[in-house]
């Protein structure tokens, strides 16, 4: 009676996990009968998912019921909670009830406790797919490597770092770019940093150059580079996220250098930087600059982010944040 809890803010990875389960369990010839895709935002569809989970599959293969935006571990209405508890021991053999939600299950709920009890006993499975924070460099490199592994692709370490710099935590774009890179290098070949630079390096370089310009005290140049990115349809909040990650890395290196830390591996770990060799480059970039400089840049970016979230024009938000800063 497999019940699957799939959650996390990485929508692309959640979708891949769901589709992999569907493809492995549902016979294509019987998919119209044995596969249901329902929306938990509709209480009737959530109840329907529980009802269908009690029904054995027809023909060959298993039955899979996918309930997106499942309410059962997040703000679950009392009547649905009762229906879930009544269903847990009645899920049919060869039937998979897949409960999907972006939010982490609320451990305080009775329904969550009941489901996680089944997870601990092996009667249910739980998988989480969470995106790393924009400043978590090592987490972003791990995301690149994990996504490549899920897609069955080989990736050189320097390529993972290059992709992380270029894309950050944009999981959907990452999967798309990895597939393009696989075609570029050829079937069975490892993706290299050179391939990343050839296909998608230009936008990544420009995004990082914005930070370099800010660091050099050239806000007008930074605005011009942002305008190029915006004209290329690069999302404004993604630019902010890339810059935050870049500047937070500089801040960490500056603080640890100030404290006398010389071990580049320790600095890279603390700063969330996947490749310790980057510390040598970053030290050269920030030489002679104090941590207060990076804190000031982060405050500027927070102002830009706030303006964007209030609906400001992206170009105006960056110009005001960079050029009017004290």
pLDDT value, residue 326? 65
d(CA 286, CA 257): 11
**How large is the C-alpha radius of gyration of the chain?**
24
pLDDT of amino acid 202: 56
Integer CA distances (angstroms), 88 to 45, 81, 99, 112, 228, in order: 17, 11, 13, 12, 54
pLDDT at 214: 92
Quick one: CATH architecture of 137-323?
Up-down Bundle (1.20)
State the DSSP H helix or E strand holding residue 99, giving kind and residue range, or none if neither. Answer: strand 95-101
DSSP state of 274: S
Strands ordered across the beta sheet of 63-68: 35-39, 63-68, 95-101, 3-7, 124-128
Q: What is the DSSP letter of 287?
A: T
Q: What distance in Å separates the CA atoms of residue 140 and residue 148, rounded to the nearest whole number?
A: 12
Which pLDDT score, from 0 to 100, does residue 274 have? 66
Q: Where are the domains of the chain?
A: 3-128, 137-323
Measure the CA–CA gap between 2 and 95, rounded to whole angstroms: 7
DSSP one-letter string for 174-240: HHHHHHHHHHHH-TTPPB-HHHHHHHHHHHHHHHHHHHHHHHTT-HHHHHHHHHHHHHTT--HHHHH
CATH number of this structure's domain 3-128, picked from the four choices 3.40.50.11540, 3.40.50.300, 3.30.420.40, 1.10.10.10: 3.40.50.300
CA separation for the pair 19, 68 (Å, rounded): 13
Per-residue pLDDT in tens (0 to 9) along the chain, 326 residues: 589 999 998 999 999 999 999 999 999 999 999 999 999 999 999 999 999 999 999 999 999 999 999 999 988 899 999 999 999 989 998 999 999 999 999 999 999 999 999 999 999 999 999 888 666 677 888 899 999 998 999 999 889 988 887 787 788 889 999 999 999 999 889 999 999 988 886 555 567 789 889 998 999 999 999 998 898 788 899 889 888 888 988 999 899 988 888 888 888 888 777 667 778 888 888 888 899 999 999 999 999 999 999 999 999 999 999 988 66
pLDDT of the residue at 133: 67
Q: What is the dihedral of CA 315, 316, 322, 324, to 10 degrees?
A: 160
> What is the structure's pLDDT at 204?
58
Q: Are 20 and 105 in contact (CB under 8 A)?
A: no
Give CA angle at 231 (228, 236), nearest 5°.
85
pLDDT at 200: 83
């Amino acid at each position: 009676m497999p019940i699957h809890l799939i959650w996390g803010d990485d929508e692309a990875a959640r979708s891949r996990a769901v589709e992999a389960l569907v493809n492995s369990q549902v016979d294509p010839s019987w998919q119209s009968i044995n596969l249901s895709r329902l929306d938990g935002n509709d209480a009737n569809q959530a109840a329907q998912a529980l009802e269908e989970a009690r029904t054995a599959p027809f023909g060959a293969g298993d039955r899979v019921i996918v309930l997106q935006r499942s309410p059962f571990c997040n703000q679950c209405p009392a009547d649905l909670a009762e229906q879930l508890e009544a269903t847990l021991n009645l899920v049919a053999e060869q039937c998979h009830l897949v409960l999907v939600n972006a939010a982490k299950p609320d451990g305080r709920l009775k329904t969550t406790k009941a489901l996680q009890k089944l997870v601990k006993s092996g009667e249910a499975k739980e998988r989480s797919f969470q995106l790393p924070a924009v400043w978590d460099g090592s987490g972003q490199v791990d995301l690149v490597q994990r996504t490549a592994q899920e897609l069955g692709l080989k990736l050189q370490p320097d390529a993972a770092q290059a992709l992380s710099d270029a894309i950050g935590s944009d999981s959907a774009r990452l999967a798309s770019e990895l597939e393009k890179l696989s075609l570029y290098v050829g079937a069975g070949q490892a993706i290299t940093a050179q391939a990343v630079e050839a296909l998608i390096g230009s936008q990544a370089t420009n995004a990082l150059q914005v930070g370099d310009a800010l660091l050099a005290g050239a806000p007008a140049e930074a605005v011009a580079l942002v305008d190029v990115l915006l004209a290329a349809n690069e999302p404004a909040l993604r630019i902010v996220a890339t810059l935050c990650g870049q500047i937070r890395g500089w801040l960490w290196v500056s603080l640890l250098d100030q404290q006398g830390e010389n071990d580049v591996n320790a600095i890279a770990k603390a700063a969330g930087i996947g490749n310790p060799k980057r510390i040598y480059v970053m030290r050269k970039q920030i030489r002679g600059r104090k941590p207060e400089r990076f804190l000031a840049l982060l405050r500027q970016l927070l102002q830009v982010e706030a303006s964007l979230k209030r609906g400001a024009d992206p170009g105006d938000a960056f110009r005001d944040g960079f050029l009017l800063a004290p």
